[in-house]
Structure 1
């Protein structure tokens, strides 16, 4: 039977610390070790890895007695092993065949310090018990950003300093509110540790993006979604990126030799979009950028492109993609597509495929139907037969999903040929 009595390696007597005091994390513990002859070490370690004492900046295999028979020793995790019989019978029998028995099992006093614990172990030891602690964060370049709950705000300087200490690539930690300014998609933020330096460089989908994180929107959790859409694009396709930000859809699409029309209302996003276009050495004859409201971009730039193609008989095999990644309000811009082209003379010449990818936040128990309902209501007609996919991009919070609705934008909608009546309202029931 094991003699272990809920032993914990965690730091002690640091609960409630608000100002980081690294000296308080010093702790002396008694650790079991195995004395091993150097020539036997490789074979013995194969069977003991499960029992290793694994800590930051600590080697579980160390020198022991360079003059004696047993020149190496293996430090065992005291949470698992406190006596010889805590090692499984099978492993003990194997160790004996390599000349390791209970006589090789001794204890040693080890001093642990702040440097030996991971940030999550420190947070668990310091922050209030029975409360949610720092469960996750995002890193953008050298910046880590957090969304701290109210009960953690008084610990924010300690939390930030621990992250700067423990994550080598981190130089700045910011706490950001969940509220985004919907005009420019900015977070409010507070630097809680490190340098007040918001210029970051990140790599995504084989492109380099640079921007001032305090003035534009960037979410590293959307990297996979960006990749999903980019893989659908082929050379000679056309992309209209209505709310492009600094270009996570637009820049990779242009590198794939698509023709790209890229727009964002935020002047800082527009600035860094063009910087990234040049920095990634795009063929600028295939890339055009705009600093407009989404409505104007759709009603002027997108509309004029379609009309020009009809005039010149250029719409044949061209496939047009429209990305609308502003989930808080993108669906509100769908109404501008319906009846966008009033002149019916272009209808017979219109023969292209247009795919729209619109993002939204669906709050409730049935996010798929809620997202479809949002598209129908904002388009002002029943789009059900044109919707080809409804995809759950990510969970934002309980009962709040970021969804992507993919639908075909046909001539019936663009020319409003059936003069659709808005469908009967379907209530999006949110329990």
Structure 2
């Protein structure tokens, strides 16, 4: 095997490039080649496939009459980082090849030129961006938009980074960089277009539903797709879903399509607009779906409260065996809204008529080592009640950054919490949520 410490398949001489010059990525290399006849090709290729030269826009098996003789008219190109001579090929593979009269006489070295089109974006970034520094390791793909969160040391390269991604990522038309973490009421963030069209209107398919929205004005995180799916698997037809911070509807709309009764709320008027747009275009039945443009506190203390009262007074009903689920996906501050469920209903005489199974799914960020314990403590501290006996699940949704996790705590909201006079949420002089939410909420 080759012992070279430098890969031959990485561009050279481009370190520090800030304005993309595709011609400078041309690199001539010497590639090992196995020359075979066409009639033996189907037998030989499975044997030596592990050594193939795998590059973008490059076929490892080619016809090359100019370099091969009339009988050996097929060339199998090997990876020069793995093979430099015949003996670099393992003995067992050489033995297998020999069964078809393929031996060292079939082995040759050809000069080829690799170009910008042959290199993947991550290989280009490794060659261009500063050594021993974090490079572009991940990004989000939302419709035709690639969304980055570049570190400060990469900002001077953002034009090149954007153009490379535009070239290399299929269906990408716009590359944006988040200029700072989310720090406003509506969880949308300031962004800079670093390559492509200034077009923020996207369409995303998730959980068999199509979502359209203006990415510059609403919140959407494709990394939460699996979590949306987990909650949808928990929901059963005829269950009731209260989505307190619903965004454009990734929980709400698939749930309504699943024949759940959905009451969805978001404070952001843009989210509310696109929520209704998406409900209509996904053909959601209006008798299954109601939308609200309210503060989360008011949604709990008015819409949710009225629903419970009406069920207890038999003016409304929940299907036999159905559950009520409450999703609270605003992880930086959702736990702060739990207190509004305490002592929500003062009509104690209705307590005996309460026979509902209510599960709250509240999301939070935790920093430390024991994320489950921290998440449970956050819920208990903000609720002001120990909900530990009623916890159904504590789940790590995704890693946000080193030692920081997004967690979900699912617990039962019992009649003791909702009706107990000792649990009445204290009135405070704190400003409304529209102002209170102006903090950094997610990375």
TM-score class, shorter: over 0.9
* Distance change >3 Å, CA 32–CA 318, structure 1 → 2: closer
1:64 deviation in Å?
2.0
1:306 deviation in Å?
0.6
The counterpart of 1:319, out of the listed 323, 326, 336, is 323
CA displacement 1:2-31 (0-9 Å, x = unmatched):
464335110000000000000100111111
**Residues in 2 aligned to 1:318 and 1:62: alpha-carbon distance in whole angstroms:** 62
1:414 paired with 2:418, answer: yes
The counterpart of 2:374, out of the listed 370, 374, 387, is 370
* Distance change >3 Å, CA 419–CA 45, structure 1 → 2: closer
Tell me the equivalent position of 2:49. Answer: 49
1:391 paired with 2:410, answer: no
Tell me the equivalent position of 1:332. Answer: 336
1:180 is paired with a residue whose SS is coil
Tell me the equivalent position of 1:302. Answer: 304
Tell me the equivalent position of 1:228. Answer: 230
**Residues in 2 aligned to 1:166 and 1:366: alpha-carbon distance in whole angstroms:** 39
**Residues in 2 aligned to 1:399 and 1:91: alpha-carbon distance in whole angstroms:** 45
2:263 is paired with a residue whose SS is strand
1:347 is paired with a residue whose SS is helix
Tell me the equivalent position of 2:112. Answer: 110
* Distance change >3 Å, CA 72–CA 134, structure 1 → 2: same
Tell me the equivalent position of 1:6. Answer: 5
Tell me the equivalent position of 2:435. Answer: none
1:358 paired with 2:362, answer: yes
1:19 paired with 2:33, answer: no
* Distance change >3 Å, CA 404–CA 109, structure 1 → 2: same
Provide TM-score, normalisation by structure 1.
0.95
Tell me the equivalent position of 2:350. Answer: 346
Structure 2 stretches of 5 or more lacking a match?
427-443
**Residues in 1 aligned to 2:179 and 2:372: alpha-carbon distance in whole angstroms:** 27
Do 1:321 and 1:354's aligned partners in 2 also have CA atoms closer than 8 Å?
A: yes
CA displacement 1:55-81 (0-9 Å, x = unmatched):
100001001228711111111111111
1:318 deviation in Å?
3.7
The counterpart of 1:290, out of the listed 263, 284, 292, is 292
1:381 deviation in Å?
1.6
**Residues in 2 aligned to 1:92 and 1:387: alpha-carbon distance in whole angstroms:** 61
1:177 deviation in Å?
3.9
**Residues in 1 aligned to 2:123 and 2:2: alpha-carbon distance in whole angstroms:** 24
Do 2:346 and 2:421's aligned partners in 1 also have CA atoms closer than 8 Å?
A: no
Tell me the equivalent position of 1:403. Answer: 407
**Residues in 1 aligned to 2:140 and 2:251: alpha-carbon distance in whole angstroms:** 20
CA displacement 1:243-284 (0-9 Å, x = unmatched):
000000000000011110000000000000000000000101
Do 2:339 and 2:425's aligned partners in 1 also have CA atoms closer than 8 Å?
A: no
Tell me the equivalent position of 2:215. Answer: 213
Structure 1 stretches of 5 or more lacking a match?
423-431
Q: Supply the RMSD in Å over aligned alpha carbons.
A: 1.6
Tell me the equivalent position of 2:241. Answer: 239
CA displacement 1:121-175 (0-9 Å, x = unmatched):
0000000011111111110111111111111110011001000100112111111
The counterpart of 1:85, out of the listed 84, 87, 94, is 87
Tell me the equivalent position of 1:147. Answer: 149
1:305 is paired with a residue whose SS is helix
1:288 deviation in Å?
0.3
Do 2:369 and 2:403's aligned partners in 1 also have CA atoms closer than 8 Å?
A: yes
Do 1:20 and 1:158's aligned partners in 2 also have CA atoms closer than 8 Å?
A: yes
* Distance change >3 Å, CA 420–CA 388, structure 1 → 2: farther
1:420 deviation in Å?
9.0
* Distance change >3 Å, CA 178–CA 362, structure 1 → 2: farther
**Residues in 1 aligned to 2:93 and 2:275: alpha-carbon distance in whole angstroms:** 59
Higher mean C-alpha deviation, range 344-353 or range 268-277: 344-353
Matched length: 421
1:346 deviation in Å?
1.1
**Residues in 2 aligned to 1:47 and 1:150: alpha-carbon distance in whole angstroms:** 47
Tell me the equivalent position of 2:436. Answer: none
